[in-house]
């Protein structure tokens, strides 16, 4: 019977298998279920597709920000009204859409993520003791999920060594009166080839809610653009994987080699009845300019134009949110730089025109972007393999604080501000990647950001190679400390000393801060 069903499924659509029956043994009867193909079940009602989800279930939610989130299945979770959910998600998005609606309806007890994004509600609930929050580096989260789907119980990673991730003590639960109740536990550390690595355990879930683009009638799934992100590893790491898609097509509609998720990983499929595909940060090439004052704009432009000199022809580079990503506007047309985005893009192009905005193509800052010819998309676990594996030559990112030995802090102010480390801990973890920090020299309250020792939780230990501010450029020796190598013409060595909270050497070859020329 199994062989006969395989034969029937192989027939072109419209050709009746019954026409073959006279030539087959009479006792063999072909049977088809309208809502089932092999082990994959097809549903029309999102709520019914979530059969088995109950109070206290662990649920993975695919997507990155609002890109590639399972909108209809999240809405169905809200409708079911299940409580005390443990949610695993790359980040938390916004207050009133996606995961935000589950938080608003008090259905979530614990969130495991890497970044809070712009979700002020989640931060508020966390600090008020109403939601537990386990912050995990984005690449570590992707790899923990990938390992869970691959049957690997644990692995060693350099990401997070020397930080609260390794040392323990990161706040997970607050009491309503603001006292700490639960802290993260220290990780086991081992040394391999002279470097330190910490042990991370795999993650699995009861259910994974995944957003695909198309599924065929046997349950194979493909994704579109950067909407692949966490959806791929999550689909493999749950007892029940529920995939919602925009279209269900006949078997054979896409080539076998183009399938991103084979049906062996898929349990349930539903065609979503509607999609809002909200864009978190609509950004176009003609977006209105920043509202910062002239002095701030000049300082920022100065940093950007100096940072752009770090690009080299043929380089693979990752640019963080804010000042770093703006440096891409000054890449010389005479060189090719492949810009990497940790949510699954290699070959970032400029911001799109209004008519070319695509909600399925965003960068790590949740901005709408384009992709250059030759660019490509991939899942988040592949993206961070590129990062940790040292295939990215340069990363630029902002900072709250940098120490004189290159320690970096940019993700959290305990008890006050919970930004999340996102992919930053991974981006600074490879000793093959040059780490450049671009930031204003002091805070808004005129406090130095370059310190003897960071007072905020670290993102990385002795990982920064170069610091660029509006006043100066420092090289970082991770044993000897800082050397001032370039000085803005409007600054002086004495001014830099007065606004830097640690000693530094002055290069005998100190020169004016360089700026990329428009026609470079």
Which residues are the active-site residues? 342
User: How far apart, in whole angstroms, are the C-alpha atoms of residue 64 and residue 211?
Assistant: 11
User: How far apart, in whole angstroms, are the C-alpha atoms of residue 87 and residue 110?
Assistant: 6
Are the C-beta atoms of 54 and 193 separated by less than 8 Å?
no
The three-state secondary structure class of 166 is helix
Are the C-beta atoms of 219 and 26 separated by less than 8 Å?
no
User: How far apart, in whole angstroms, are the C-alpha atoms of residue 395 and residue 460?
Assistant: 13
What's the chain's length in residues? 520
DSSP 107-147: -EEEEEESB-TT-HHHHHHHHTTSSEEEE--HHHHHHHHHH
Helix pair 138-150, 380-388: axis angle to 10 deg: 120
Are the C-beta atoms of 103 and 122 separated by less than 8 Å?
yes
Cα–chain-centroid distance for residue 262? 23
Q: Which residues pair with 42 in a beta bridge?
A: 269
Are the C-beta atoms of 90 and 97 separated by less than 8 Å?
no
User: How far apart, in whole angstroms, are the C-alpha atoms of residue 366 and residue 400?
Assistant: 21
Q: Measuring CA to CA, which residue among 507, 512, 504, 434 is closest to residue 471?
A: 512
């Amino acid at each position: 019977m199994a062989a006969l069903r395989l034969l029937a499924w192989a027939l072109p659509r419209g050709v009746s298998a019954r026409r073959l029956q006279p030539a087959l043994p009479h006792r063999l009867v072909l049977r088809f279920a309208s809502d089932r193909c092999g082990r994959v079940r097809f549903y029309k009602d999102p709520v019914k597709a979530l059969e088995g989800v109950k109070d206290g279930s662990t649920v993975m939610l695919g997507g990155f920000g609002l890109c590639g989130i399972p909108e209809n299945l999240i809405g169905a979770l809200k409708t079911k009204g299940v409580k005390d959910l443990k949610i695993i998600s790359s980040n938390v998005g916004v207050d009133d859409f996606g995961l935000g609606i589950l938080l608003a309806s008090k259905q979530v007890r614990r969130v495991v993520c890497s970044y809070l994004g712009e979700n002020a509600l989640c931060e508020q609930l966390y600090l008020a003791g109403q939601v537990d929050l386990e912050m995990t580096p984005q690449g570590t989260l992707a790899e923990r999920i990938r390992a869970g789907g691959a049957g690997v119980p644990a692995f060693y990673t350099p990401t997070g060594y020397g930080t609260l991730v390794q040392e323990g003590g990161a706040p997970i639960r607050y009491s309503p009166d603001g006292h700490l109740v639960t802290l993260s536990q220290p990780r086991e550390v081992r040394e391999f080839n002279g470097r330190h690595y910490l042990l991370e355990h795999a993650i699995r879930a009861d259910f994974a809610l995944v957003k695909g683009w198309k599924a065929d009638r046997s349950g194979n799934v493909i994704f579109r653009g950067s909407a692949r992100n966490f959806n791929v590893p999550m689909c493999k790491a749950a007892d029940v994987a529920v995939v919602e898609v925009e279209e269900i097509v006949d078997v054979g509609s896409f080539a076998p080699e183009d399938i991103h998720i084979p049906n062996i990983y898929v349990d349930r499929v539903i065609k979503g009845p509607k999609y809002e595909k909200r864009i978190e940060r609509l950004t176009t090439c003609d977006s209105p300019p920043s509202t910062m004052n002239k002095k701030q704009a000049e300082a920022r432009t100065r940093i950007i134009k100096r940072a752009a000199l770090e690009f080299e022809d043929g380089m693979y580079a990752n640019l963080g949110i804010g000042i770093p990503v703006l440096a891409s506007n000054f890449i010389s047309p005479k060189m090719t730089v492949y810009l990497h985005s940790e949510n699954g893009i290699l070959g970032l192009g400029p911001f799109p025109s209004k008519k070319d905005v695509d909600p399925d193509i965003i960068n790590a800052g949740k901005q709408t972007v384009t992709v250059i010819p030759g660019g490509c998309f991939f899942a988040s676990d592949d993206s961070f393999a590129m990062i940790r594996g040292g295939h990215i030559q340069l990363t630029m990112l902002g900072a709250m604080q940098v120490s004189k030995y290159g320690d970096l802090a940019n993700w959290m102010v305990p008890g006050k501000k919970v930004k999340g480390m996102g992919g930053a801990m991974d981006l600074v973890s490879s000793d093959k990647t040059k780490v450049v920090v671009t930031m204003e020299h002091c805070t808004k309250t005129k406090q130095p950001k370059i310190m003897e020792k960071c007072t905020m939780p670290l993102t990385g230990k002795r990982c920064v190679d170069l610091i660029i501010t509006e006043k100066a450029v420092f090289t970082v020796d991770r044993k000897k400390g800082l050397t001032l190598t370039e000085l803005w013409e409007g600054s002086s060595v004495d001014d830099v000393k007065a606004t830097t909270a640690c000693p530094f050497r002055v290069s005998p070859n100190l020169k004016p801060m360089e700026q990329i020329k428009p026609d470079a």
